[in-house]
């Protein structure tokens, strides 16, 4: 049944509705998705520091139904028509052992994009309209590694890695408000590969140094003082 849906789907055609987008993410990319709910910008900010909250998920028994099976996704969206699409993180997907995101301020993210754009493994980052950019990454077999980002948070730059137990809003036609996100680089169904989180955080480390030179000097001095 999955093959039938995928073969009948024009992966080069941009989805026109949330329902079509949900099926496209599942069928063309193999990503587990679930419908999102309402919320405010405050909810969106809180969601970056908490597990998938009820403000982002459709209430009721369909919260468990995150799936990459197109027919199941289609059935779930019949019960939640027009709902924005959320990717469920921490699960295996084509091109990644475990799907995750690295969530960073736009100033740092844009600087990193210039470098990652030269890398053929770079995959579609998302901008959320709230001053953030999310890089889709492969978390690999590691637990929930930080890869040195904690030092930047201590310096006041909010760089985080999200994985198991969390969700990421995906660009959805017609979605507005806190769920309004767009692709900086759209995903390519023919090249489903993700950079490892370690690779992206290494580039981000360099980008933070360029975007916040004073913070880099402070962090460097702090490391020297502790060594």
Q: Which residue has the higher pLDDT, 178 or 47?
A: 178
Among 3-12, 75-84, 87-96, which stretch is predicted with the lowest mean pLDDT?
3-12
For residue 91, pLDDT over 70 is answered with yes
Average pLDDT (85-108) is 89
| Higher pLDDT pick, 99 / 220 | 99
**pLDDT computed for residue 122 by the predictor:** 52
pTM of the model: 0.77
Number of domains in the chain: 1
For 38-90, the pLDDT digits (tens) are 543 334 433 433 445 433 444 444 455 689 999 999 998 998 888 889 999 99
H runs (alpha helix) in 33-159: 41-47, 70-79, 106-116, 150-154
Please give the average per-residue pLDDT across 98-116, as a whole number: 84
12-22 per-position pLDDT tens digit: 567 889 999 99
Instruction: Give me Rg for the CA atoms of the chain.
Output: 18
Q: Which structural domain range is residue 158 located in?
A: 2-226
In 37-140, DSSP assigns E strands to 85-88, 99-105, 126-127, 132-138
The pLDDT > 90 percentage for the chain reads 17
pLDDT, greater one: 31 or 54: 31
As a whole number, mean pLDDT of residues 133-137 equals 89
- 10 Å CB burial of residue 72 (0-12, 13-18, 19+) is middle
- Please give the average per-residue pLDDT across 21-32, as a whole number: 94
């Amino acid at each position: 049944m999955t093959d039938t849906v995928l073969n009948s789907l024009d992966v080069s055609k941009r989805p026109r509705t949330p329902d079509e987008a949900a099926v496209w993410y599942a069928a063309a990319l193999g990503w587990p998705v679930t419908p999102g709910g309402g919320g405010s910008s405050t909810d969106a900010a809180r969601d970056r520091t908490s597990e998938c909250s009820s403000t982002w998920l459709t209430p009721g028994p369909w919260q468990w139904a995150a799936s990459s099976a197109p027919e199941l996704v289609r059935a779930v969206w019949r019960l939640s028509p027009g709902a924005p699409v959320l990717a469920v993180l921490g699960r295996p997907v084509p091109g990644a052992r475990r799907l995750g995101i690295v969530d960073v301020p736009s100033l740092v993210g844009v600087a990193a994009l210039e470098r990652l754009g030269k890398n053929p493994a770079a995959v579609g980052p998302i901008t959320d309209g709230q001053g953030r950019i999310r890089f889709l990454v492969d978390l690999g077999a590691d637990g929930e590694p930080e890869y040195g980002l904690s030092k930047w948070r201590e310096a006041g730059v909010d760089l985080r890695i999200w994985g198991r137990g969390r969700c990421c809003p995906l660009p959805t036609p017609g979605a507005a408000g806190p769920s309004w996100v767009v692709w900086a680089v759209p995903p390519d169904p023919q090249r489903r590969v993700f950079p490892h989180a370690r690779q992206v955080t290494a580039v981000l480390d360099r980008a933070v140094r360029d975007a916040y030179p004073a913070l880099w000097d402070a962090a460097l001095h702090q490391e020297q003082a502790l060594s």
